[in-house]
Amino acid sequence: MQTKVRVHTTVNGEPAEFLCEPRQSLLECLRDILGLTGAKEGCNDGNCGACTVILDGRPVNSCLVLGVEAEGRTILTIEGVARGNTLHPLQQAFLEQAALQCGVCTPGFIVAAKALLEAEPDPSEARIRQYLANNLCRCTGYDKIVRAVQQAARMLQGVEA
């Protein structure tokens, strides 16, 4: 009996309910059912990190989570990172450092970096590079991305506006 499953979650602070097939990834559910297209499909096998979301406080590849696994859980996507029209310091820093070219990897980088800075407010450059190793940028803008994360860390600590 092929039955769709109703899933109850919290997405970006709001209750979100969706009906999905068990085989649909959380990424497909976010993009195709809930219309949250910020998380991108890159490799669809856990290597590139473009689909990164925060699931119950942990950064995950949403392509490697089933939508049905999200029952009762809390999800943060790139759409929930800004406060209204006010960019998150990471978003501001990515703009100021020009830390993107094509931009496909950017949502994943920002969400993963947010998880890092919440766990470790003042990471070293080596730690930033290691933590973000699951995020690939094929325009090869890593230096600027790392500088943006460093700037955001300073902004979040109130060292720099």
Partner 1 sequence: MKWFDYAAPRTLAEAVGLLAAQPGALALAGGTDLLVQMRSGRKSTHLLVDVKHVPEMNELSFDSTRGLTLGAAVPCCRIFEDRAVARVYPALAEVAALIGGTQIQSRASIGGNLCNAAPSADSIPVLIAYSATCTVAGPAGLRRIPAEEFCTAPGRTVLQPGEVLTGLHLPPPPARFGARYLRFIPRNEMDIAVAGAAVSVALDNGAIRAARIALAAVAPTPLLVHEAGVALAGRPVSEETVQAAAEMARAAAQPITDMRGTADYRRHLCAVLTRRALETAIARAREGK
Task: Give residues in contact with partner 1 (CB under 8 A).
Answer: 1-3, 5, 21-23, 25, 44-47, 49, 52, 55, 58-61, 64-66, 68-69, 71, 112, 115-116, 130-135
**Cβ distance to partner 1 smaller for residue 11 or 54:** 54
**Cβ distance to partner 1 smaller for residue 92 or 134:** 134
Question: At closest approach, how far in Å is the CB of 49 from partner 1?
Answer: 6
| Cβ atoms 2, 23 nearer than 8 A | no
Place of tokens 């890092």: 116
Q: What is the 3-state secondary structure (H, E, C) of 82-136?
A: CECCECCHHHHHHHHCCCCCCCCCHHHHHHHHHHHHHHCCCCCHHHHHHHHHHCC
Q: Is 82 left (phi over 0), alpha (psi -120 to 50) or beta?
A: beta
**Cβ distance to partner 1 smaller for residue 21 or 79:** 21
Question: At closest approach, how far in Å is the CB of 158 from partner 1?
Answer: 26
**Cβ distance to partner 1 smaller for residue 100 or 111:** 111
